[in-house]
Amino acid sequence: MKSMRIIAPVLVAVCLLASLAWSQAGSAEQQIKALQAELVTAILKGDTSFYQKYYADDAISVHGLGQVYTKAEEIADLKSGSLKYDSYTVRDQTIRIDGRTAVVVTLVSGKGLLESKPFNQDFRTSYVWVEHKGNWKLVLRQVTRIPPSK
């Protein structure tokens, strides 16, 4: 009987911790969904404040043809207007949370101007977010062009 007095509180504590971990994962997924939605808005508006706030200082972006950009270069590119989206539609999005890291993979259709040349392109994007002191930062963005279907 004495062991039941010890086991019962331990089981309750384990259940509470498991419940807390589950709710935090859900919360993290909701936070990442919201950040991804904000990112789309920033892309469409050419709004660099999102990049300044949520890109890690050492973030890397790999563009469709393999060019590597730093946070500063991404912001400068947006400010220059060399890349301007008329539309940016996320057709599919998968989010995976593992502790303080989130990986997001999307399928996107984008239309706009790149260096004054029109484009209408589908691509896959991968994002790696890391939570640090309660704040999510984007550390990696990878864009891969999808060839047009024949």
pLDDT given for residue 125 in this prediction: 97
Q: Nearest to residue 107, comparing CAs of 117, 121, 128? A: 121
Residue 10 has pLDDT above 70, yes or no: no
Q: Nearest to residue 69, comparing CAs of 83, 55, 59? A: 59
Q: Nearest to residue 89, comparing CAs of 61, 69, 112? A: 112
Averaged pLDDT, 121-133: 95
DSSP 147: P
Averaged pLDDT, 121-150: 93
R_g over Cα of the chain: 20
The set of residues, in sequence order, having a beta carbon less than 8 Å from that of 19 and lying 6+ positions away, is none
Q: Nearest to residue 71, comparing CAs of 140, 145, 147? A: 140
Amino acid at 37: A
CATH of domain 2-146: 3.10.450.50
pTM of the model: 0.79
Averaged pLDDT, 10-19: 39
Residue 9 has pLDDT above 70, yes or no: no
pLDDT given for residue 26 in this prediction: 59
Q: Determine contact, residues 44/88, Cβ cutoff 8 Å.
A: yes
DSSP 149: P
Residue 106 has pLDDT above 90, yes or no: yes
